[in-house]
Amino acid sequence: MSNFQSTISHTGFYVSLISYVVFWILDILKPGFVARVFSVHIFLLSAIAFGIWWAIMVKEYTERPWFEMIIALVMGILLSVLVWIFGEGFGMFRFLVVIIAFFTPLLFLRLVCPQSSQK
């Protein structure tokens, strides 16, 4: 039964996540194309629910600190670029806020996974 639930939750998570991204991109390309029919965020909600269910079903967790660090660095770069583009209102503090935005995912990773950042 557990293997069956794991398969269903795994598949549901990926289908919901991919559907969310695809419908969101379609709605950005042609505004109102999807949003007039239904909310795209239904897929995000189902992805979160399936993700939690799948996380409960996982029996053995394999840590990959290098992968987590790469994801944190990519997110830091992405946040820095977004803050630089939309941060004109920060004035002379713009560069400081960009630096803080870059290090925020790394700090979050250190708080969530303290043992992986120490290796």
Q: What is the mean pLDDT of each run of 10 residues along the chain (119 residues)?
A: 82 93 91 88 92 82 78 93 90 92 90 62
Q: What is the pLDDT of residue 98?
A: 94
Structure pTM? 0.56
Same domain, 10 and 43: yes
From residue 20, how far is each of 16, 24, 38, 79, 84 by CA, in Å? 6, 6, 12, 21, 27
User: Which domain covers residue 10, as residue numbers?
Assistant: 2-57
Q: What is the pLDDT of residue 111?
A: 83
For the chain, the domain total comes to 2
> Where a domain ends, among 57, 73, 91?
57
Q: What is the pLDDT of residue 23?
A: 92
> Where a domain ends, among 57, 80, 98?
57
Distance CA 100, CA 93 (A): 11
Distance CA 31, CA 34 (A): 8
